[in-house]
Amino acid sequence: MAKINNVGLNLGQKIANPFKTSRNSTTNPFKYSNFEGNTLQFEYADVFEGSKHSTNNKLKMITSSVAGSMTKLRSSITEPIINFVNRIKEGMSSAWDYAKNTNVSDLAGVKAINKVMNADILDIGKGIGNSISGMGKGIASKMAFLNTDVTDIGKGLSEKWNSLISKVHTNKITKDTTVDELKAMWEAEIAASASKEVA
């Protein structure tokens, strides 16, 4: 009966918490992660924790995981990769030889700079002068164009102004306006309307 009770107790405990594991509760999501088989070995590495341990422990976590991965990688390096590294090494050494044996003044960019630096100042001045005179010509032609436009605008304004003035004068018809003047105005209106119809 005591055995049965013990079994019952054990069962009861298991049923009460069927998902309980032996792992300690932690907020570190990487604690049980496996970086290619390299388990993180530090206790307080937790990116979600406060700033208390985070800086040091984060660095620690990253370095340890990278180091572990590198160790693993080194053990699994295959032949073609070694060849590839060797080729790069050769390339680097030939570049180094080129840099060591080549005069700095012979480099393409340095040559161009030297050419400019050693050129006669007068030649440069001539070039700049030509450019400025060309700019001047362009500006002068633009200004001439502007002047033409302004003249045209002036003409248009003058015509509008004259027509406005003539209208004002025409509208100044009073009882004192003589019959002859009225006749002249009417004839002018007839002529204007006739010219409009022709146009």
Partner 1 sequence: MNRNVAEIIDALAAHQDHASIEVLEELGTNSPDNEVREYTSRALVRKNVHDSLKIVIINQGKGINDLSPAVAMSTINEILALKDKSEVIKILDDTINMHSDEAVKENARSVKSLLALS
Contact positions vs partner 1 (CB under 8 A)? 167, 170-171, 173-175, 177, 179-180, 182-183, 185-187, 189-190, 193
Q: Closest separation between CB of residue 161 and partner 1, Å? A: 18
Q: Where are the beta strands (DSSP E) in 13-88?
A: 34-35, 38-39
Residue matched to tokens 């010219």: 195
Among residues 25 and 171, whose Cβ is nearest to partner 1? Answer: 171
Q: Closest separation between CB of residue 194 and partner 1, Å? A: 10
d(CA 7, CA 144): 111
Q: Closest separation between CB of residue 170 and partner 1, Å? A: 5
Among residues 96 and 186, whose Cβ is nearest to partner 1? Answer: 186
Q: Closest separation between CB of residue 157 and partner 1, Å? A: 23
Quote the tokens at residue 172. Answer: 């100044």
DSSP state of 35: E
d(CA 41, CA 33): 11
Among residues 25 and 195, whose Cβ is nearest to partner 1? Answer: 195
**Residue 187 and residue 170 in contact, taking contact as beta carbons nearer than 8 Å:** no
Among residues 111 and 167, whose Cβ is nearest to partner 1? Answer: 167
Is residue 44 classed as helix, strand or coil in its secondary structure?
coil
